[in-house]
Amino acid sequence: MHALIIVDIQQDFCEGGTLAVNDGAQTAALITEYMNQCGQKFDVIATTRDWHIDPGPHFSDEPDFENTWPVHCVAGTPGAELHENLDTEFIDAEFLKGQYNDGYSGFDGILGEPDLIRNQDGMAGPYGATAAAAAATDSSSITMDEWLREHDVERVTIVGIATDHCVRATAMDASDAGYEVRVITNLTAGVSDKNIDDATDEMEDCGVMLSEWPGAKTFIG
């Protein structure tokens, strides 16, 4: 079985968000086009979200944009929502990560409850997370690895944001867990060119396959 994992295509990581990367919105649109054209090759499709409640030193008033960051993707706020260019009709499961830590890897996430994600009543944590959003994984303890294995997945293809952080961490954890892993690099967007180059080298060294989707050029053109 083959899974597509879409990493963190969220409002705060796209143009207008608090931690936007270049071409984030375009990457979201490209992934939707990729699913329209190629989605049938995947047995399941999952997405991840940063879902921060109180992630400690991950947030900083003076971020270095490598280990510390501005406040972003607070659970239950508009910035944590999936970007409107991403068609959620294709998605079978969402994994929420980083509630109380950095949460770079999708393999740190827990299967979320959509009804609770969309409930905005009450507050939790110091950054304005909603109480219901903070409880969005309370009814589940299912990790991404457990969910993939329940679906007999052996191969994963990874796309999303950011190439040099959460995509990298998710791909390397997938490889360490024994999956055959591919990252489609032109369906990702990153923070810095140098870090992207370092991340792709690191992923390749771990056995992750890197490729490009030829259809992206046609869609952009």
Residue 64: which pLDDT band, with cuts at 50, 70 and 90? confident
Burial class for 26, CB neighbours closer than 10 Å (0-12, 13-18, 19+): middle
d(CA 83, CA 15): 10
Q: Is the pLDDT of residue 115 over 70?
A: no
The answer to whether residues 116 and 49 touch, using CB atoms and an 8 Å cutoff, is: no
From 73, 97, 102, 108, active-site residue: 97
d(CA 48, CA 166): 10
2-7 and 129-130 beta bridge pairing: unpaired
CB 14 within 8 A of CB 22: no
Residue whose structure tokens are 């024994």: 178
pTM: 0.93
Confidence class of residue 135 from pLDDT cuts 50, 70 and 90?
A: confident
Active-site residue (options: 14, 108, 166, 173): 166
Domain boundaries in the chain? 2-220
pLDDT digits (tens, 9 = 90+) for 189-211: 998 888 889 999 999 999 999 99
Q: Active site includes 8? A: yes
Query: From residue 52, how far is each of 11, 63, 213, 215, 220 by CA, in Å?
Result: 14, 16, 31, 34, 33
Tell me if 102 sits within 8 A of 50, measured CB to CB: no
Give the integer Cα–Cα distance in Å for 72 and 146: 27
Determine the pLDDT at residue 59. Answer: 86
Q: What pairs with residue 49 in β-bridges?
A: 96
d(CA 190, CA 207): 20
| 12 is known as an active-site residue | no
Cα(20)–Cα(15) distance, rounded to whole angstroms?
5
Pairing of strands 123-124, 129-130: antiparallel
Q: Assign domain 2-220 to its CATH architecture.
A: 3-Layer(aba) Sandwich (3.40)
Active site residue 41: no
